[in-house]
Amino acid sequence: MALTKKIQNLILPLPVTLATHRAKKGDDSTDNIIALSWVGIVEHHPHMVNIVIGKGKYSARTIAERKEFGLCIAPVELMEQVDKCGYMHGSKVDKFKMAGFTKIAAEKIDVSLIAQCPIRLECIVKEIIPMKTHDMFIAEVVASHVAPIFLNEREEPDLSKMNILCYANDQYWSMGEKLQDLYYSKKD
């Protein structure tokens, strides 16, 4: 069996998210975006997520100082803008303007969210775990938003309408299609 450096951390696919944050309280001209795929669910009660950002990054410093961020799940249609948000520096470029994103004011935190994203979470940092090369931010989700066009007739999120952008092994992928409901094989 061949083991290569390229697949040692291969857990896939991971959703591509845009973490939004603000450097100065109340000043939306200091809004920034960082493209991330190292994102996960931590807890159900209360709802908590984690994001992982490289040490020394402008976004990591800002989120550590302000203790809040928006987490916007990107659709495939935003792939080019997401890619640019991944390599441009937020301390030098207004990424909202560069990407043509529409800002939506969050309800419970002082951060702008991205209107073009079908899922938008408002997060408050509860813990920062320093790693060797990255920092993990564990945050409580204090508000969740799904645009009405992405809901089904029961007003539940309809992932088939969202076309979520995913990341795996230095490549972008689409989420694909639904196969079955959870526990579909369970016998009564």
pLDDT tens by residue, 66-77: 999 999 999 999
In a domain, 50, yes or no: yes
27: exposed, middle or buried (C-beta count within 10 Å: 0-12, 13-18, 19+)?
Answer: exposed
How far does CA 137 lie from the centroid of its chain?
12
Token digits for 74? 């990107």
C-alpha distances in Å from residue 130, one per residue of 11, 19, 28, 51, 179: 21, 19, 28, 12, 38
In a domain, 9, yes or no: no
Q: Phi/psi at 150 (nearest 5 deg)?
A: -105, 15
Q: Is 29 helix (H, G, I), strand (E, B) or coil?
A: helix
Number of structural domains in the chain: 1
In a domain, 164, yes or no: yes
Rounded Cα distance, 43 and 120, in Å: 18
With a pLDDT cut of 90, the percent of the chain lying above it is 64
Under the banding of pLDDT at 50, 70 and 90, the label for residue 180 is confident
- Residue whose entry in the numeric block shows the structure tokens 């992928």: 173
Q: Is the pTM of this model over 0.85?
A: yes
Give the helix/strand (H/E) hosting 5: none
Q: Which amino acid is at 157?
A: P
In a domain, 59, yes or no: yes
In a domain, 184, yes or no: no
Under 8 Å between Cβ of 173 and 167: yes
In a domain, 42, yes or no: yes
Residue 52 sits in a domain whose CATH number is 2.30.110.10
Rounded Cα distance, 82 and 62, in Å: 20
Residues spanned by the domain of 76:
14-174
In a domain, 170, yes or no: yes
pLDDT at 1 over 80: no
Rounded Cα distance, 57 and 32, in Å: 12
In a domain, 7, yes or no: no
How far does CA 21 lie from the centroid of its chain?
12
